[in-house]
Amino acid sequence: EADIYQTPRYLVIGTGKKITLECSQTMGHDKMYWYQQDPGMELHLIHYSYGVNSTEKGDLSSESTVSRIRTEHFPLTLESARPSHTSQYLCASSRGSEAFFGQGTRLTVV
């Protein structure tokens, strides 16, 4: 069973607030990813990291930022949340060719 955790599971927040979505994995994986998924839609890669101090933007442009100071931790931050950021955010990690996903954070910006 995969050990990758996302908090919070659900978040409702007002426009303009700064938020950080947490993602942690205990598997020692070097590679970590953030995907954005609108309801009923496909997943889009927004950020990825190959290891500590490595971060790259994904296929889908996002106003969020990420950091990778520790192997196990890959938080995503929105400096000023907007209703257009309402979505589900899925974190994943991998070593080799299989990715393991967290349960996701469903973000609603009102």
- The reply on whether position 27 binds other proteins by CB under 8 A is no
- Partners of 82 in beta bridges: none
104 binds other proteins (CB under 8 A): yes
Nearer to other proteins among residue 33 and residue 74 (C-beta):
33
Kindly identify the residues of this chain, within the stretch 32-71, that bind other proteins according to CB under 8 A: 33, 35, 40-45, 48, 50, 58-59
Residues counted in the chain: 110
Contact assessment for residue 101 and residue 88, using Cβ atoms and an 8 Å cutoff: no
Report the C-alpha gap between 25 and 95 in whole angstroms. Answer: 12
State which residue, 78 or 90, has the beta carbon closest to other proteins. Answer: 90
DSSP 83: G
Whether 14 contacts 110, CB under 8 Å: yes
Q: Which residues bind other proteins (CB under 8 A)?
A: 6, 9, 31, 33, 35, 40-45, 48, 50, 58-59, 90, 92, 94, 96-104, 106
